[in-house]
Structures are given as structure tokens and as C-alpha cells.
Amino acid sequence: MGKLEEAYDAIVSVASPDASEGLLKERVILLLWYLRNVLGIDDIDAYDYICDGDDDLGLDGLMEDSDNDSTIVFMQSKFPETAKNVGPNDLKKFVGSIKPFETAGGLKKMLSGNVEPALEKLIDRFQLVDRLENGKLKHRLLYVTAGLLDGKGKAYVDTVNKLHGAGYLTTVDVLDLKKFVDAFKGPTLVSGTLDLDCPSTKRFEVDLADGKAVLAAIKVTDVVTWPGIDDRTLFELNIRKQLRKNDVRKALDEAIEKTSEHGNFIACHNGLTVICRAIDTSDAKRLKITDLSVVNGAQSTIAFKDNEDRVSKELLVSVKFVQTAPEKSLARAVAIRSNTQNPINQRNLRGRDNIQLMIEQEFKSSYSHYHYEMRPDATQKFPNKKIIQNDVAAQLVTAVIHQEPWLAVKKLSLFESATYPHVFGGIHAPHIIVCDLINEIVGELKAKFPPDYAKSWQLTRLIAVYLIGQLLHSPEHIEVLNNPAKVLKDGPALRARLTKLAGIAVGTLQYRFQVRQGGPDDFKVEFKRESSLRDLAKEMKASMAMTQTINATAKEIEDSAPATPTGKKKK
């Protein structure tokens, strides 16, 4: 198998319909995978940026630019049957499809015709007409393909960017995607040896029980040459995703731009933390590092690389090199304690902390027919066990037990240091199994939900789970949450109880959908808003109380009706 075919097959293996929430078009499934696993967008948010229809001008998604919220990113994806070449014609069609979005009049004209509902809602959500009328909207294009961009295609991209400005049209092809797939599947150290200009006077060394650590002042001109920055493999023990720009990144760019202050940069910057296989300090003038991964400071490293032309020899950064094997507990501890910024790292590496290990042991000792997955590992298979992923468990626990679905939808934040103790504090394997059973029952009832809601299944499913949790917090059902180990002993009875409550949750969402027919229903936004979800739960409980009151009153009237001569009560 050739390099190109291997890359294509790797993409097919991850961008599959199994994780697409019912999306049917392969190109859109590919774009969804890219948003989630490369750009680092939360699963549910990523899905909400997708268009999967026929009347969408060939657009497959819209989102605000993380670098500049006045810029909208128009996205198109292609997933050819083979990794065939992509030339300028496909790109020209994409560039041309944006024409209606260049003026408010053009967009209004487009909206007066047939427009895919998902696209129309995105246009409304981002207020594109108003922003165009106010002159406050810019745009750029992102093109993702499982094909290979050929020379003519690359030349066309260069021409477009010279005309509209650098970065206007960004393309990602099969070989680019392959690098991200490799990082997604198997985090490890980047192979290679660094030979750094760092005299002994600018470093401090200490022996550790499981290795050693060296704190050194490193030239940023050396950092930008480290392997694995462009394809993000350098950060595999830290992240699997490209960091989106935020205020911290903007401040970094500004600091690097001010060359007159480079001499003081090291005093103001927190530095990088790097796990490596070996550190050689035998040379008084050079520091040699073998195999490495940046576990804290990915954002800074990327910023250095992006601003490479502005980096001077005076720009130094403090780097803490820790020599240890990546599978050692020390590597995990360093990554966890030195990095609190990137949530996917927190999920992966918290998989070996005490709370997760305790829960894992509970599953092994008392619920061995389950496998509690604490970080993805494609090499392991558990054909006779039901797998519960700890990040999904975190979402379910947050929605059901903590009653906070507005927090649960942000899956990537649930393992951050500020949130993690709250999510898993006091949680044991039986709690997680009950929540998983609720999730399973909701999944079985998917066909009962309004079709529009079912299309955004991850979000709708989580809200249904939350509503069932609200019912479980009533005095009648609270034992399920207070003593889950006990109720799990009678599995059929528990399933029957939860199925009944699930029916109420489904009915609540069906009623909500019917009430909003003919009017705006941006549920993708409201289902993430705390006030809206609290109101929805109150409405559900109120309708139940009303039904119970009506039934009780009817029963009371029936019981109090005078008897007829034949002994029957009058009706």
C-alpha cells in the first residue's frame, strides 16, 4: 500500500458514521471530525456548526473565528472515494459560493429563496445580515479534503491569498489529516535529538527518584526548530488538538512583536515543561535532549513558531526538561500538575489519578461485565464487556446527579482542575452505571423524539438525561441516586422505572417542540442555557403535578358520588 492510500485509509478509520450523530454525508462527517479533533471544539458545539443539506450552496459549516469574532469561517469539505488529486476547479466553486455573503442585499436575496434550515439558523444565530449592514463582518474560508491538493490547486490557493490577504483560504488535505490522525490514535514522544545552545551557567540540574530534571534558559530560535510543531505530534502527551487562539495567545503575539522587550521575556513568561527520554548535560556548552513531548506550553510553542520571523536571539524561554519514560507515573504527574489549560490533556492524563483508579477498581471488583475506559486505546478490545468512557460518564454524572447540563455540554472542561473535583467528588461505579443505563434507555427511544431535535442527538440526549435526573431527585425516586448499588441488584425493576421516567422526558420535549411550531426554536442555543433548562425542568414538574391533581380530583369525585338504587355510583 502506498503512502497516499495509507493516509486515506487512516482518515476513513476515524471519520466514520459511528461518531457522526446521524450525519449521512461523508464529507460532513469528515469536517465534524476535524472540528472536534483538530481544532479542539467541544463535541456538541462542533456539531452545531455543521450544515448537512442540499440547499446550502455547497457550504458544510459556519463558525466564528477564534482569532477574531468579527470574522466568520465558511467551511467546505470533500471526501472522495479515493485519495484523488484536488485541483483548482473545486476550490474556485467554493470561493464563488461565498458571493451572496459579501453584502447584506446579496444575503437577503439568497434567504428569500430555498435555503437549508440548518444554514438559515446559523445565518440567524451569527446575525450575518445585521453585521453586514453595520459593516462589521469579515470572512475567511476553510477547505478540508481527504484528497491530495495538487500543484495547480496549491497555486490557486496562493493566488487567492495574495488577492484577499494571507490566511483567507486555508486548505487541509489527506497528508495533513494523516498527521493529525496519527496523533489522535497514539500519543507518544516525538523521536529525535535536540542539540541546544545552553551553557551550564544557564541551567540547573537535579536528580529525581524516577529520572532527573533540568531547568534551562533556551533560545526561542531553537524552540521553533523542534520537530512535531506543525503536525502537533510534539504535544501528544499534552493535547491531541490544535489550540484555538484566546486572550493568552494574543498577549503572546504582542510580546513577541515587541523586539525591544525580548531581553526581559523570560522573566515574564511561565515557561515550558517537556518530558523526554534522555538528557545529556556532559557538554558544558550544549544540552542534548532525546525524544520529547511538550506537556505544558503548547500554546506558547505554537505562538513562537507562528511568529518565527519576529523571533530574535535575545528571546529566551525557561524550559523544564524532565527525563522519564512516558508511561511512568512521574510523566503523568508532571503533565497533570504543570498543565491546567487544555482539557483534553486533563481527561487523558487524569485517567491515572487516584479518583479514576478507585472507580476503575470498583468496576473490576464488583461490576466486571463493564470496562471503564479512562483514556482511548485503540489497541485494546473488550468484546464481552460494555465500555463506559470516563468523559461520557463525567457528562452524565454532571447532568443527572449534579443537575448541571449547561456544564455537562462542555465535555472538554469537566476534567480541568477547577471542575474535576466537583464532577467526580463522591461518585462511585454504581452511580456511573445508573447514569449509563439512563443514557442507554434514552438512546433506545431516539425515534420518539422530534426529528429536528434528534438530528442534534448528543445535545438532545443529554437534555433528556438531565430531565430524567430531575425526576429522580424527587422523594419518590431519590433512592436511585442515594443508593445506586442497592437498586442495581434488581436490574429489570430499575430499567422499568427509568423507562417510565424517560417517557415523561420524551413527552416534555415533544410538547416543547409542538408549542414552538411556526415560531423560532433555536434549541441548540437554549439547550445550553442554564435559565432555559431550569425553566424546562419546572414546566415538566408542573405539568406532572397538574396531571396528578386532575387525576386525584377525578378519583375523589368518583369516590364521593352517591350510590344508585342498584348499588352503582352515579356518573
pLDDT of residue 339: 43
Q: Compute the average pLDDT of residues 265-280.
A: 89
Q: Are residues 272 and 334 in the same domain?
A: yes
Alpha helices, DSSP H, located in 483-571: 484-487, 491-515, 523-526, 530-560
Residue with the larger pLDDT of the pair 275 and 569? 275
Q: Are residues 386 and 334 in the same domain?
A: no
Average the pLDDT over each of 109-123, 238-252, 329-343, 501-515 and give the range with the smallest value: 329-343
Domain boundary among 118, 152, 182: 182
pLDDT digits (tens, 9 = 90+) for 358-385: 999 999 999 999 999 886 654 467 788 9
Q: Are residues 332 and 194 in the same domain?
A: yes
Res 478 pLDDT > 90: yes
Res 551 pLDDT > 90: no
Domain boundary among 182, 211, 233: 182
For residue 50, the 8-state DSSP code is B
> Which amino acid is located at 448 in the chain?
K
Q: Which domain holds residue 277?
A: 188-341
Provide the number of structural domains found in the chain. Answer: 3
CA distance 228 to 455: 37
Res 424 pLDDT > 50: yes
CA distance 499 to 448: 13
- Model confidence, pTM: 0.60
Q: Does 559 map to a domain? A: no
CA 243 to each of CA 197, 233, 238, 318, 540: distance values in angstroms, whole numbers, following the listed order: 28, 13, 11, 21, 40
Angle between helical axes of 343-350 and 329-338 (0-180°, round to 10):
150
Domain boundary among 314, 341, 368: 341
Q: Are residues 325 and 404 in the same domain?
A: no
Q: Does 562 map to a domain? A: no
Q: Sorting pLDDT into bands at 50, 70 and 90, what band is 136? A: confident
pLDDT digits (tens, 9 = 90+) for 14-51: 777 665 666 778 888 899 888 887 787 877 888 889 88
